[in-house]
Structure 1
Amino acid sequence: MLLTRVIGKALNKVLNKVLNKALNKALNKVLNKVLNKVLNKALKKALNKVLNKVLNKVLNKVLNKVLNKVLNKVLNKVLNKVLNKVLNKALNKVLNKALNKVLNKVLNKALNKVLNKVLKKALNKVLNKVLKKALNKALNKVFKRILSRDIERTLGDPLGRNLSKG
């Protein structure tokens, strides 16, 4: 009994370490691919909405101040209205595209790191529990067979059960 407990504990530790490493590598690869796809889509939509609002406000304020000062001196009131509309639209499109690309990359990396850490911890806990149960069941079966054979060899089969055959 003591021997099986000692062997069982030692095997559980070794098997848990080996399986955890292998499973973590495999799961990280799969999860990274899945999460990157899901997060990229979700983040692009969310970031585009937020960035468009923020950038439009900031750019409109900045461009209006600069353009109004320059154009008011050179051009008349009609040109100010036309140029402000055209330039604001064109610059907003160009700047939104450039900033969205940069911010998407930065935020994807940051979120992937955070989510990988969180998911690794959660998955490790779940997998450890599942693997411990499965390994314990498998090891118990193996040890019961080994013990029954050892008992039969040492004691014979006093009850006539033929343990090694069953």
Structure 2
Amino acid sequence: MAKIAPQLPIEVDSETGVWTSDALPMLYVPRHFFVNNHMGIEEVLGADAYAEILYKAGYKSAWHWCEKEAECHGLEGVAVFEHYMKRLSQRGWGLFKIQDIDLDKGTASVKLEHSAFVYVYGKVGRKVDYMFTGWFAGAMDQILAARGSQIRTVAEQVYGGSEEGHDDGLFTVKPL
């Protein structure tokens, strides 16, 4: 396996220590720290309740991120979604690969390879990547709203690499 330098721009404010990539402040934390916190919350709340909370929060964050990044880079339409998947992949969450996207229909599917969650959880017989699900609908809806569309969407994880018979995850987006 070849190693490469990070591909996303990072600036650090010398006075505050705040990291910024493109137009947004960022946090840089070890994967084990993040996933262990995630697992701890899941243990208390249950996976279904936690997934619902993360869907709503992730949706909101993805909308904000896409809005700011579109502004920062002069992007619109599918280019915003592609940029979002690229940046998520560059941040170590996994490799997000768009399988298809149709803004006129409000649909998309995204394959997830090398999920940070699957690396830690392993094969547990259930989906563990649910944190990402709301991100896809939030991104799609921001892009649709920016182009004047009234379509709003919902995302779901079809399967995950943590389930038997699957090495990767698949997420779909469709209209409400």
Structure number having the greater helix percentage: 1
| Higher Rg of the two aligned structures | 1
Question: Shared topology, TM-score over 0.5?
Answer: no
TM-score with structure 1 setting the length:
0.23
The structure with the greater share of residues assigned to strand is 2
Indicate the structure whose relative CO is greater, using CA pairs within 8 Å and at least 6 residues apart. Answer: 1
